[in-house]
Amino acid sequence: MNTIFETKLLVVDDEPGIINLLKTVLNQAGFAQVISAENCRMARELFASEKPHGVILDVMLPDGDGFSLMQELRQHSNVPMLFLSARDEDENRLLGLGLGADDYITKPFLPRELVLRLSGILRRVYQPLQTQPLPDECLVLGAVTVNFKSGIVKSGDGEKTLTAKEHALLKKLWENQGNIVTADSLCRSAWDDDLYGYENTLMVHIRRLREKIEADPSQPQYLLTIRGMGYKLAKETKQ
């Protein structure tokens, strides 16, 4: 996921160290704004005035406990809330989750894990299930796949990018997959003028294409030469 939400998060904890750690970690991860409260009273006020998109709260607070606070906030809002606590007894976790917490993380915690868990929850809450983009249609040739939209050829040993000519030629072949395409036809789809001297130029480009899509360019499995006729992109053999 490349896109995230620029969220305003309320952190409720009375340890300045934790507050600072969270601010650093969340800012680094791209969560823009972190506001903090060190007790229940401040948390209530900030929650009402700032309307944060999520809350992270400690279970033990100087003027009350996090459980009651969560219960109270939950009555007014359905935003993601998660507990951060040094107490990892079973009953506490069950109580916290039972009150509607989205997670219950025990201290000490891995900063990266907190970020992953939090962004997972935020994604679920703010990015509905339907909006997933459809994957691009790809050409699959054994162990390599070609994405024409991105121009990327993926294989076991990395990614390569197609050049303009390679892209045009392979696309033409793909559109006629399984059928023979004459050299002349290929040339007309990759070059706009009727320049001669093609014969060899085309071969060089075919060779370069083979270097990107074939395991062994000298023993082509997919981009085949049909002597005296042209080239053919073989269809995938069923399993």
Partner DNA sequence: ATCAAAATTAAGGTAAACGTAAGGCCGGGG
Partner DNA sequence: CCCCGGCCTTACGTTTACCTTAATTTTGAT
Question: Contacting a second copy (CB under 8 A), which of 178, 184, 203, 211?
Answer: 178
Q: Is 221 in the site for DNA (CB under 7 A)?
A: no
The distance of closest approach from Cβ of residue 194 to DNA in the complex, given in angstroms and rounded to an integer, is 12
Which residue, 64, 53, 16, 12, is CA-closest to 31?
53
Residue 204 contacts which entry, DNA, a second copy, none (Cβ below 5-8 A, type-dependent)? DNA
C-alpha–C-alpha distance, residues 83 and 36, integer Å: 14
Q: Is 195 in the site for a second copy (CB under 8 A)?
A: no
Residue 89 contacts which entry, a second copy, DNA, none (Cβ below 5-8 A, type-dependent)? none
The distance of closest approach from Cβ of residue 130 to a second copy in the complex, given in angstroms and rounded to an integer, is 9
Burial class (CB in 10 A: 0-12, 13-18, 19+), 21: middle
Residues 105-134 that bind a second copy (CB under 8 A): 110, 112-113, 116-117, 120-121, 124-126, 128-129, 131-134
Q: Cβ–Cβ contacts within 10 Å for residue 93, how many?
A: 18
User: Token pair of 185, please?
Assistant: 């036809």
The distance of closest approach from Cβ of residue 44 to a second copy in the complex, given in angstroms and rounded to an integer, is 14
Question: Contacting DNA (CB under 7 A), which of 176, 191, 215, 221?
Answer: 191
Q: Is 158 in the site for DNA (CB under 7 A)?
A: no
User: Token pair of 117, please?
Assistant: 């868990």
If phi over 0 gives left and psi between -120 and 50 gives alpha, with beta otherwise, what is residue 26? Answer: alpha
Question: Strand, coil or helix: what is 41?
Answer: helix
Q: Is 235 in the site for a second copy (CB under 8 A)?
A: yes
C-alpha–C-alpha distance, residues 22 and 208, integer Å: 51
DSSP string over 127-155 = S-GGGPPPPPPEEEETTEEEETTTTEEEE
Q: x/- string (CB under 7 A) for DNA, residues 114-153? A: ----------------------------------------
Q: Which residues bind DNA (CB under 7 A)?
A: 161, 163-166, 183, 191, 195, 197, 199-201, 203-207, 210, 217-218, 225, 227-230
